[in-house]
Amino acid sequence: MTALTETERPAPTISRWRHFLVGKVAWMPVLAAVVILVIMLVAGQAYFGRFVTPRILSSLFVDNAYLIVLAAGMTFVILTGGIDLSVGAVMAFTGMLAAKLMSTGVPAPVVIPLMLIAGAAFGLIIGVMVHYFDVQPFIASLAGMFLARGLCFVVSLEAIQVKNPLVLGLQSVKINMGDWYVTPTVIIALLLVVGATWVLGYTRFGRTVYAVGGNEQSARLMGLHVARTKVLVYVVSGVCAGIAGLLFTAYTAAGYSLNGIGTELDTIAAVVIGGTLLTGGSGYLIGSLVGVLVYGVIKVSITFLGADASWTRITIGILLLAFVVVQRVIVARANRR
Amino acid sequence: MDVDPVVQVIGASVRFAGDIALDGVDFRMFAGEVHSLMGENGAGKSTLIKAMTGALRLDAGAVLLEGRDVDLSTPAAAQRAGISTVYQEIDLLPNLSVAENIMLGREPRRLGFIDWRRTREAAGQALSALGIDIDPASMLSSHRLATQQLIAIARAISTDVKVLVLDEPTSSLDQDEVDELFRVIRRLKSRGVAILFVSHFLEQVYEICDRITVLRNGVLVGEYVTTELLRLDLVQKMLGKATFDLEQMTTRAPSATPAAAREVKVSAQGISRRNDMLPTDLDIYEGELLGLAGLLGSGRTELARLLTGIDSLDGGRLMIDGVPRRFHEPRQALRHGIAYSSENRKSEGIIAQLSVRENITLALQAERGWFKPIPRNRQDELSASWIEALDIRPADPDRLAGLLSGGNQQKVLLARLLAVAPRLLVLDEPTRGIDVGAKVEIQRLVSELAIDGMTIVFISAELEEVLRISHRVIVLRDREIVAQFDPDEITIETLLTIVAKAEDGT
């Protein structure tokens, strides 16, 4: 072990820091999202009192674990310049499928891989349509969304309750650390974020995702695996939708065919607020996590205010608009230089 | 030569939908030489390059690398085999770091994960091998175009490269940058890399290349040693006809009106724009062909854009026919008969997805307003007459403009502007990146327009061209006008020293 640490000593901190600065233009929107998050938390604390508490902060993660997972997958897709509108419906479908199978007695260790495979299959179909049949990602994933939503109704029109202790345990087990607590769903979501960040930053697949988003033609001429990458990002997003289906099923303790309507848009909003350019090629997964937290804080604030839930959407809409404009300005300034 | 060629193309043939693009062409390159592939547009240059670099498959024939038949089915396969290409439009990724652009796809990995430190080191080595001193961790987009090109070369040579193809590498570089590039090319040459240098600039070809292969209409004309081939002979071999065009062009078009009787068409008084142009005075006379000479960044394009309302003025004023005018957008200038043809033919000129007919009638339609469409038969008439007048080939008005050669696209662009009957036509590098034959045609066309009394501002990076066809030449340097001449009273050498600025004060 000691011999290993000697050879695997990390790079000097200076070059690390430089590497960090390399993407400083791309980091600016992420920073903006963090600033927004902090401002909202501070404002919430000032207005409501007792707002920034471990319990509420913990619940931000617990209540939005499924969204974090969806946003992680969506980040891959948007980084290539694509979009995946199917994630909400796929999440609902995998949830339905799982609830149905478990109600007929299929054990959870069989059901859970099936959910991931179902999600991957949807992603694969969309990816193949996008790349090999040159269908607009918007249209291809819209088709995927209708297909998944339709299949929900095929499985069952009614909500199906989930009683499987393993699945429910993902949400109900609370691991307390002082006033903080996490559930297995949060751990899964955060592990996924860490893993996906690693994949984007340290694998050829991840770098090719950025390359494709920067300029697909150039990436192809550089001899990168463009086709494989473009299909794979939708598969990643599909698998994430499958995982989100699992977390959401644990969260609601039921599969229901109308679950997650509009969730794909919340996901896209979180990713964009988190600083990923819709045109692709620039953004960070950690930003998407911050984007989800911003979304979560807005939702909590609206609840605290006792205002109508529609205000969540209105606030998100305004924020989204502001962020898209900010991104345009940043891109325009970068181009001018 | 006794040594075996590093690349040998034997009997290469390619057809596109019945058209023969390459017909049994033989081609060879030796290690450590700079080789130029010359020919007009449509000669088969790019087809041959694509066949060698894996972007296209041969219908017949073979490409041998060091005598062996290797897999060149994709650009990636060609790169693995040792043939790398740097394209005209630099195909790098502005959103990533220099190091990544060089190493992408072959980053050193440890346990399957990219080792960033070693990646940056390897990129740094590739850069220093070329004598380029930049930080590999910096973003690609923070570098000048010329540097980006060198980075592209660094990427190309960071593999075990045997053959490096440079497709029009100098088309957007100024002289210093070209020198830098040539220094790099010579360095690679001494390392034994075979370099295919494709360029329209004859001077550069003669400066850097050891041998020249000439293609014409998809057929091999011959392979020559540069020092044994006269320039005139080369052009003749490329054009495949007597050099009467060049002879004919040496006479300048007479101006329509005697110099003394001319009216001032446009008078710029102290016009300026931050970062682009220092306060500048300029009078443009009715019916003259005014040539603007200067290097890239001298202000030649910037001045043209100020005159035509593309960019708005920060200071000074423009008098059109004696009346002060202020333009905020090009359509206001167009209303006063001032038309601008951009140097960026592809991005700011031709609309590739529209047909030739639609491209030609576009400006006229815009002038009429979109609610009064030009009747189809009128459109046909218009486009047919312009296609004939400018000899646009192929003479098919329904062909997509993007499929035409550069020279013909430029003619379509000219036709579009001429269709609105402008009184002042500003042409920014209309002959850039087109073959010699088309160049001569465009020059003649511009001269003829001047004979007909149109006022023309002609911008070109090629001093010889400016000098030959202009009535008056203005030289820009460092964002201001530094001199003006009667082209009869100055030699190209003198003009060159003024344009390039003698640092020693001469």
Q: Please state the φ and ψ torsions of residue B148, each to the nearest 5 degrees.
A: -60, -35
Which residue in A17, A19, A216 has the most chain B C-beta atoms within 10 A of its own C-beta, making it the best mutation to test that interface?
A19
Mark yes or no for CB contact B93/A281 under 8 Å: yes
pLDDT of residue A3 exceeding 60: no
| Residue A306 host element (H or E) | none
Cα distance between residue B478 and residue B482, in whole Å: 9
**Per-residue confidence band for A198, with pLDDT thresholds at 50, 70 and 90:** very high
Cα distance between residue B160 and residue B167, in whole Å: 20
Cα distance between residue B466 and residue B460, in whole Å: 6
First CA to last CA distance, chain A: 48
CA distances from residue B223 to B35, B37, B236 in whole angstroms, order as listed:
10, 9, 14
Residues of B in contact with A210 (CB under 8 A): 93, 95-96
How confident is the model over B84-119, as pLDDT tens digits? 888 766 678 888 888 888 888 888 888 878 888 888
- Which residue in the block uniquely carries the two structure tokens 């540069």? B226
> Is there a contact between B63 and B83 (Cβ–Cβ < 8 Å)?
no
| Separation in Å, CA of A211 to nearest CA in chain B | 6
Strands (E), B113-263: 113-114, 163-167, 194-198, 211-216, 219-225
Residues of chain B above pLDDT 70, percent:
91
Which residues have a Cβ under 8 Å from the Cβ of A305 and sit 6 or more positions away? A311
- Please give the radius of gyration of chain A, using alpha carbons only, rounded to the nearest integer: 20
> Is there a contact between B323 and B317 (Cβ–Cβ < 8 Å)?
no
Residues of chain B above pLDDT 90, percent:
10
Predicted confidence at residue A208, as pLDDT, reads 93
Predicted confidence at residue B240, as pLDDT, reads 62
| Separation in Å, CA of A12 to nearest CA in chain B | 9
Which residues have a Cβ under 8 Å from the Cβ of A243 and sit 6 or more positions away? A69, A115, A116, A119, A188, A192
| Separation in Å, CA of B79 to nearest CA in chain A | 8
A33-40+47-336 has CATH 3.40.1000 classification: no
How confident is the model over B63-92, as pLDDT tens digits? 888 888 887 888 878 888 888 888 766 678
If 0-12 CB within 10 Å is exposed, 13-18 middle and 19+ buried, where does residue B438 land? buried
- Which residue in the block uniquely carries the two structure tokens 């992680």? A72
Cα distance between residue B481 and residue B282, in whole Å: 9
Instruction: Give, in degrees to the nearest 5, the angle at Cα B459 between B455 and B465.
Output: 100
How confident is the model over B408-428, as pLDDT tens digits? 888 898 899 888 888 899 999
Mark yes or no for CB contact B112/A11 under 8 Å: no
In terms of Cα–Cα distance, which of A286, A284, A268 is closest to A324? A268
**Bigger pLDDT: A305 vs B248:** A305
| Separation in Å, CA of A218 to nearest CA in chain B | 5
Q: Please state the φ and ψ torsions of residue B166, each to the nearest 5 degrees.
A: -110, 110
Cα distance between residue B154 and residue B90, in whole Å: 12
Cα distance between residue A98 and residue B349, in whole Å: 56
Predicted confidence at residue B17, as pLDDT, reads 57
Cα distance between residue A273 and residue A281, in whole Å: 16
Task: Tell me the residues of A at the B interface, defined by beta carbons under 8 Å apart.
Answer: 11, 15, 18-19, 21-23, 25-26, 198, 201-204, 207-208, 210-211, 213-215, 217-224, 281-282, 334-335, 337
Cα distance between residue A19 and residue A209, in whole Å: 19
**Per-residue confidence band for B386, with pLDDT thresholds at 50, 70 and 90:** confident
**Per-residue confidence band for B502, with pLDDT thresholds at 50, 70 and 90:** very low
Predicted confidence at residue B20, as pLDDT, reads 73
Predicted confidence at residue B242, as pLDDT, reads 40
Which of B80, B96, B107 lies nearest to residue A214, judging by beta carbons?
Answer: B96
The tokens for B429 are 């590098």
**Per-residue confidence band for A6, with pLDDT thresholds at 50, 70 and 90:** very low
Residues of B in contact with A7 (CB under 8 A): none
> Is there a contact between A299 and A61 (Cβ–Cβ < 8 Å)?
no
**Per-residue confidence band for B250, with pLDDT thresholds at 50, 70 and 90:** very low
Mark yes or no for CB contact B75/A220 under 8 Å: yes
CA B24 to chain centre: 29
CA B45 to chain centre: 16
Quote the mean pLDDT of chain B.
83
pLDDT of residue B461 exceeding 80: no
pLDDT, average across residues A102-128: 93
The tokens for A268 are 């896209």
The tokens for A86 are 């199917």
Sign of the torsion formed by the C-alpha atoms of A129, A131, A136 and A142: positive
Predicted confidence at residue A224, as pLDDT, reads 85
Mark yes or no for CB contact A202/B114 under 8 Å: yes
Predicted confidence at residue B504, as pLDDT, reads 37
Sign of the torsion formed by the C-alpha atoms of B418, B422, B425 and B427: negative
Cα distance between residue B166 and residue B86, in whole Å: 5
Predicted confidence at residue A141, as pLDDT, reads 94
Cα distance between residue A198 and residue B298, in whole Å: 47
pLDDT, average across residues B1-30: 81
How confident is the model over A64-81, as pLDDT tens digits? 999 999 999 999 999 999
Enumerate the β-bridge partners of residue B485: B473
- Helix residue spans in chain A (DSSP H): 2-7, 13-22, 24-48, 54-63, 65-79, 87-103, 108-132, 137-155, 165-172, 184-202, 204-214, 216-221, 226-252, 263-273, 285-305, 310-336
Which of B104, B113, B135 lies nearest to residue A224, judging by beta carbons?
Answer: B104
Enumerate the β-bridge partners of residue B28: B8
If 0-12 CB within 10 Å is exposed, 13-18 middle and 19+ buried, where does residue A190 land? middle
Mark yes or no for CB contact A220/B94 under 8 Å: no
DSSP B488: G
**Bigger pLDDT: A237 vs A224:** A237
Helix (H, G, I), strand (E, B) or coil at B321: coil
> Is there a contact between B247 and B269 (Cβ–Cβ < 8 Å)?
no
Cα distance between residue A74 and residue A233, in whole Å: 8
Predicted confidence at residue A299, as pLDDT, reads 87
Rounded to the nearest 10 degrees, what angle do helices A184-202 and A165-172 cross at? 80
| Separation in Å, CA of A215 to nearest CA in chain B | 6
Cα distance between residue B24 and residue B39, in whole Å: 16
Cα distance between residue A152 and residue A237, in whole Å: 19
Residues of chain A above pLDDT 90, percent:
50
Q: Which amino acid is at B91?
A: D
pLDDT of residue A195 exceeding 90: yes
| Separation in Å, CA of A67 to nearest CA in chain B | 27
| Separation in Å, CA of A119 to nearest CA in chain B | 26
If 0-12 CB within 10 Å is exposed, 13-18 middle and 19+ buried, where does residue B100 land? buried
> Is there a contact between A2 and B121 (Cβ–Cβ < 8 Å)?
no
ipTM: 0.77
pLDDT of residue A89 exceeding 90: yes
Mark yes or no for CB contact A221/B141 under 8 Å: no
pLDDT, average across residues B233-243: 64
Mark yes or no for CB contact B137/A26 under 8 Å: no
**Per-residue confidence band for B261, with pLDDT thresholds at 50, 70 and 90:** low
Sign of the torsion formed by the C-alpha atoms of A175, A180, A185 and A186: negative
CA distances from residue A190 to A71, A249, B412, B482 in whole angstroms, order as listed:
12, 18, 58, 64
Which residue in B72, B73, B96 has the most chain A C-beta atoms within 10 A of its own C-beta, making it the best mutation to test that interface?
B96
Per domain, the residue ranges of chain A are 33-40+47-336
Strands (E), B342-449: 424-428
Residues of A in contact with B104 (CB under 8 A): 207-208, 211, 222, 224
Q: Which of A125-129, A237-241, B77-81, B174-178 has the lowest mean pLDDT?
A: B174-178
In terms of Cα–Cα distance, which of A337, A292, A263 is closest to A93? A263
Which residue in A24, A212, A221 has the most chain B C-beta atoms within 10 A of its own C-beta, making it the best mutation to test that interface?
A221
pLDDT of residue A12 exceeding 60: no
- Please give the radius of gyration of chain B, using alpha carbons only, rounded to the nearest integer: 24
Predicted confidence at residue B134, as pLDDT, reads 86
